[in-house]
Structure 1
Amino acid sequence: MARIRLGLSTSGLRVAADRAGNVTAVDATGSVVFQSPAPLMWDSTAESPVERPVGVVLGSGSLTLVPDQAMLRDPATRFPVVIDPTFSHYTPNARSSWALVRRSHPSGKHWNLQPRDEDERLAGVARVGHAPGWPGEYLDRSLFAFDTQRLAGTEIQSATFRIWQVWKYSNSCTAADVDPMQLWHTGGINGNTTWNQQPAWLSNLAQVRSVPKAGYCAPDWVGMDARAAVVQSAQNAAPTVVLGLRAGDEAGDSGWKRFYVQNGTYPMLSITYNHRPTISGVGIEPRLTACTWCGGVPWVGNSTLNLVGTVNDQDGGQVTATFRIRRPGQSTVSQNRTAGHKAATPLAVNSSIADGTTVTWDVAGSDGDLGVGPVSGPSFRVDNTRPVNGPRVASALYKSDNRWHGGIGVTSAFTFAPSLATGETNDIDHYTYGWQDPPVTKVAAAGGLGGTASVELAPPGDGPQNVFEILVGVAG
């Protein structure tokens, strides 16, 4: 048997083979859709099987396998001989995949490998360690990539890697008799990963003396702590984390183990995580506005304010909002709220707070495990003292003498000035004026707090008219 010609037909795919015999089929974007590791042939019934590579020739509408003729003619070869090209399909750009790397086939690509024979279907396709009864170069490692895209910015509480172990070299069911297997954090893997192109083995995460073996200790899940690797992936917002399995002792047969990555039984990465809550909508209701001459700092007096903030929890848990108000005699206020619901605490601004006091405050949040903040709210100053007297008003033309002056459309300057009581602080910010009560037109005090203001006014009609004026301090 010199050649085995197989028909090959694709739609929208480009098929190519490299020098080692690895075959890939890629789509128009360059994403691998099908892949076949370099095919092999072996005498399946021998106690110490012999394995040889199989040549690959791609033609128009065909894939031809070229068996090793020396092996087929060798009298020592035990038939039947398995010649096995295996194609694996996977979703392009998938972030959860695996690769087997084999020192015996240093350029062979074994990406998302599926069982190729009855032995692999029963004992598992993933493996670590040196294969008993095979030459020294038959050493395997297995690497697994998991999607961690949604973990960016989370706090990782625990992460456990689990894999279904079916076979090992030792027949003992006592852990102390079994050589350890190691779990590593590695660099990235892809369809080009081979023994010669392995990722960096970054850190040894854990090791376990796992005992499952079919017929002796019963196949079972084996778990190992992978938290350190997942924490790093979450902190770096990495789309994947790759975990590698290898034997603790790769020189002898005692580290040989095999695992399922097939038939619905796949390695798992179980992660417990928590999103840190966030705070939004921090402010004061009703909204405060600074006066014209207040340097951007609002003043408040004789009113009740609501200090507000919303604690958000992406995981939907119960949260607590804690307000801290810094002014004499005010304690910290905590409120429990459902995530995403506004929390508010009232603050009475009255004579219990001395005039001129600056009030600062903030709000922090917690989901019971992780906290956020504090986030500072807008500060303000206190002025509970309203002006005692109304303003003084003067006009060169329109005088308060009950006599006729000017007329409709005849303007004159009106000047407003504070009229202070004894000991009163002159903190007048602006005046409101108009021909109706209450007046609504505003004019700022000239030059700063306590200044006068002048406006040009003309009476709206004949007869006696009243100009209404209000002077307004920093707190309104």
Structure 2
Amino acid sequence: MPTPRSLTGRRRSRSSYALLACGLAGGLAAPAAFAATPGTQAGQAGATVAEKRLPGPGAPRGRVGLWTSVNSGNPDRAYWNRTDDVARVGKRALANNHGLNGVWRSFITVGAQDLHRAGAIRKAELHIRNTTSQSCAPYNVEIWDTGRVYASTTWNRQPRWYKQLGWVSPHQRPCQNRPLSFDVTASARAAQQNRWPSMTLGLKATNEKSSDAYKTFAPSTARLVVTWR
């Protein structure tokens, strides 16, 4: 039996199922009605990779999910739909701060409705472009399974950070304006088995004390890439 999941929390399961490809538009994460079917891809016999970019900024609003950021420098301010196409991670400490200094974390919610079918995931990854980096030092960016976010989410009202799914160290040159891939297989499998309507992924810097770890991402480039067994 699938385990229940509220809009703000979830209970985990150890079983595995399949996932869909999703994306983001504007400040919203728009579920894509697209999933892979069993087949073969070069270099991965018996597997198919499904991927789909999000609709453009003109896509209808009100779909499942959203993306947003939170900032310790303005702990009670909601940044949903107020940061253009910039999701920030890590500590920002610049002279001309424009009210943006502080530690940043970002969240992306993607619809999981199309996961609810028979099958098994080999791997699921969130692909997103790292647009800027304060330095090329090897500072990690972590991805977490979190509770759902809302337009009212702030630093002081963050969702729960349930489990770290993985991390990347984007220090290879060029260390900015390049795509990064985060392994989110565990969250995708849990979302499919438990028939959650969505899943939320949190991005944060491992080192939140050094401004050299500060990075920005473009949510409009985010997509979920799923490899099926």
CA change 1:187–1:217 in 2 (3 A) is closer
The 5 Å alignment of 1:305-344 reads: none
Q: What residue in structure 2 maps to residue 182 of structure 1?
A: 142
CA change 1:114–1:137 in 2 (3 A) is closer
For the aligned residue pairs, the C-alpha RMSD in angstroms reads: 2.8
Distance 2:164 2:109 in 1: 16
Q: Does 1:129 align with 2:90?
A: yes
Q: Report the alpha carbon displacement of residue 140 of structure 1 after superposing the two structures with TM.
A: 0.5
Distance 2:128 2:138 in 1: 17
Question: One-letter code of the match for 1:167?
Answer: T
SS of the residue corresponding to residue 157 of structure 2 reads coil
CA change 1:162–1:212 in 2 (3 A) is farther
Q: Does 1:197 align with 2:157?
A: yes
1:165 to 125, 130, 145: 130
Deviations 1:306-357 (A, max 9, x none): xxxxxxxxxxxxxxxxxxxxxxxxxxxxxxxxxxxxxxxxxxxxxxxxxxxx
1:139 to 81, 95, 103: 103
* Contact 1:97–1:112 (CA under 8 A) maintained in structure 2: no
Deviations 1:275-305 (A, max 9, x none): xxxxxxxxxxxxxxxxxxxxxxxxxxxxxxx
* Contact 1:153–1:237 (CA under 8 A) maintained in structure 2: no
CA change 1:96–1:143 in 2 (3 A) is same
CA change 1:212–1:221 in 2 (3 A) is farther
* Contact 1:184–1:203 (CA under 8 A) maintained in structure 2: yes
The structure whose residues are more often strand, as a share, is 1
SS of the residue corresponding to residue 110 of structure 1 reads coil
* Contact 1:165–1:221 (CA under 8 A) maintained in structure 2: yes
Distance 2:172 2:110 in 1: 24
CA change 1:90–1:113 in 2 (3 A) is farther
SS of the residue corresponding to residue 104 of structure 2 reads strand
Gaps of 5+ in 2: 1-26, 28-56
Question: One-letter code of the match for 2:161?
Answer: W
Q: What residue in structure 2 maps to residue 152 of structure 1?
A: 116
Deviations 1:230-254 (A, max 9, x none): 1111111011111110000111112
Q: Which has the higher contact order (CA 8 A, sep 6+)?
A: 2
SS of the residue corresponding to residue 260 of structure 1 reads strand
* Contact 1:90–1:112 (CA under 8 A) maintained in structure 2: no
SS of the residue corresponding to residue 228 of structure 1 reads helix
Gaps of 5+ in 1: 1-34, 36-87, 116-123, 274-368, 370-476
CA change 1:209–1:269 in 2 (3 A) is same
Deviations 1:52-84 (A, max 9, x none): xxxxxxxxxxxxxxxxxxxxxxxxxxxxxxxxx
Percent identical residues? 26
Question: One-letter code of the match for 2:91?
Answer: H
Q: Does 1:208 align with 2:136?
A: no
* Contact 2:132–2:176 (CA under 8 A) maintained in structure 1: no
Q: Report the alpha carbon displacement of residue 99 of structure 1 after superposing the two structures with TM.
A: 0.7
2:72 to 67, 81, 103: 103
Distance 1:221 1:104 in 2: 28
SS of the residue corresponding to residue 143 of structure 1 reads strand
Q: What residue in structure 1 maps to residue 205 of structure 2?
A: 247
Say how many residue pairs are matched: 171
Deviations 1:409-443 (A, max 9, x none): xxxxxxxxxxxxxxxxxxxxxxxxxxxxxxxxxxx
Q: Report the alpha carbon displacement of residue 204 of structure 1 after superposing the two structures with TM.
A: 0.5
SS of the residue corresponding to residue 242 of structure 1 reads strand
> What is the TM-score normalised by the length of structure 2?
0.66
* Contact 2:146–2:200 (CA under 8 A) maintained in structure 1: yes
CA change 1:125–1:212 in 2 (3 A) is farther
The 5 Å alignment of 1:298-447 reads: none
Distance 2:73 2:225 in 1: 33
Q: Report the alpha carbon displacement of residue 103 of structure 1 after superposing the two structures with TM.
A: 1.1
